[in-house]
Amino acid sequence: MTTSALTRPGQRDRLIMKVPEIDWRLAFGLICIAGVGAMMLYSAGGQSWQPWAASHLIRFGICFVLMLVLSLIDIRIWFVMSYPTYGIALLLLLAVPIIGHQSLGARRWLQAGPISVQPSEIMKIGLVLALARFYHGLSAKDAQLSWKLLIPAALIAAPTLLVAKQPDLGTAILVAATGLTLMVLAGLSWRILAAGTLATVVAAPAFILFLMKGYQRDRVLTFLHPEQDPSGTGYHILQAKIALGSGGLLGKGFGLGTQSSLNYLPEKHTDFIFATFAEEFGFVGCAALLLLYGLTIAVALRIAAISHSHFGRLSAAGVTATFALYVMINAAMVMGLAPVVGVPMPLMSYGGTVMVTVMVGFGLVEAVRVHRYSEISSGTGSLLF
């Protein structure tokens, strides 16, 4: 009888031998971002570790260890688990409208005793894995333009519509944008991309006016002229702009932000933590923080580029694209360049669900780095040990 690869003598030693293969530059970048987040949560909490900063650090520590463990899992195992992960996430999304927990007018969570699960977060990883696996076995010609592209389009559309119905417009946009980015990276024809962009522009007004819920429509329309309703729908954007403007070039100093300390800034520890940071550290601090994000993204993209398998390249790039979209959408939202859609700043905003998703994703990226020389069969999808 053949001994399992996971119980074979010396297997544990071989796993330990792979630890130096982890890209510690990426790990260090994530630690720095989470550290900045903890610092700002300490400030937003009134110069106190409670109620947010301490929990943030503990969660990050646990998630960081999880990332390191996941990085040692062979990329071929990730490959085999791709479609099952997507399928489980889709079933959980289908269950949300039936048995999901409702809060603040939205039904997004599944509750199992003390444990709450947000299926849309699982789908962010599942979609990247499923698309990477699909394109791994597709020819470059078919990836550019063929009827087979209806399959990834359906893989993207199904969760996007289910998440939008919860309603969770921000996450739905993230899921759709991540999927589209992966299709482009896989070689999508510019003609399809141009046609899709034109169709989106044409359909957008009707979608906003007739298909969006009232508060979602108000958010989209208000960001263009927030001053028309300064104490209502425009309040969030105006207060965030005041925080950014009062920070000036160098900021007011750590812990000295009045918008945050006087509670004028809404959601100062979650969606608008970037505005809290901007008031205290100014334009220079914001530029440095965005540079840190940019360097971390660049390292992750470099990992994607050196993978020997198409699946590895696309899965690492897809995770990195999701992370980059988080940063861009949140920063644009805080600066008043995009509607307020409830997308947090990754690893800075308070909250465990997004942190777990981000760190599991980077566990996949690190696994691509550690097992960059692994070859995956294009046809059967079987493990090649």
Averaged pLDDT, 279-308: 95
Q: HSE on the CB side for 57, CA within 13 Å?
A: 13
Vertex 272 angle, CA 32 and 51, to 5°: 70
The model's pLDDT over 115-130, given as tens digits with 9 standing for 90+, comes to 778 899 999 999 999 9
Neighbours of 345 (CB within 10 A): 27
Give residue 378's pLDDT band: very low, low, confident or very high (50, 70, 90): low
Does the pLDDT of residue 176 top 90, yes or no? yes
Per DSSP, the three-state class of 218 is: helix
Averaged pLDDT, 244-249: 89
Phi, psi at 362, each rounded to 5° = -75, -20
Report the alpha-carbon distance of residue 56 to residue 351 in Å, rounded: 7
Alpha-helical (H) ranges within 45-189 are: 53-71, 75-80, 82-99, 119-136, 140-144, 150-164, 169-185
pLDDT score recorded for residue 54: 94
Radius of gyration of the chain (CA): 22
- pTM of the predicted model, to two decimals? 0.89
How would you list the strands of the sheet with 115-117, edge to edge? 101-103, 106-112, 115-117
pLDDT score recorded for residue 103: 66
All structural domains of the chain with their residue ranges: 26-370
